[in-house]
């Protein structure tokens, strides 16, 4: 990664968003710009996408939203 590069972050799973906030910070510190974030699965009840937006100003797109608050995981949204 070089200063001035545009980076699109792809992650497999977002829960609390802490990893993505740190990654965006590292990319920006290196002088690159984050063009967007895509996660395959989002644990929606954990609120990570909202935390990432609050901390970075970048919306997280997710393909599948799941609820893991009960005994079983349930798919609650499909965005593809």
pLDDT band at 71 (very low <50, low <70, confident <90, very high): confident
Question: Which percentage of the chain shows pLDDT scores above 90?
Answer: 84
pLDDT band at 69 (very low <50, low <70, confident <90, very high): confident
Burial class (CB in 10 A: 0-12, 13-18, 19+), 46: middle
Q: What is the pLDDT of residues 24-44, one digit of tens each?
A: 999 999 999 999 999 999 999
Cα separation, 56 vs 50, whole angstroms: 10
Q: pTM for the complete prediction?
A: 0.88
């Amino acid at each position: 990664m070089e200063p001035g590069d545009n980076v699109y972050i792809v992650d497999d799973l977002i829960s609390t968003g802490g990893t993505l906030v740190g990654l965006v910070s590292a990319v920006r510190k290196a002088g690159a710009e984050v063009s967007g974030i895509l996660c395959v699965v989002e644990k929606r009840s954990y609120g990570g996408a909202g935390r990432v937006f609050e901390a970075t100003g970048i919306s997280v797109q997710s393909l599948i939203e799941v609820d893991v608050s009960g005994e079983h995981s349930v798919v609650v949204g499909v965005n593809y």
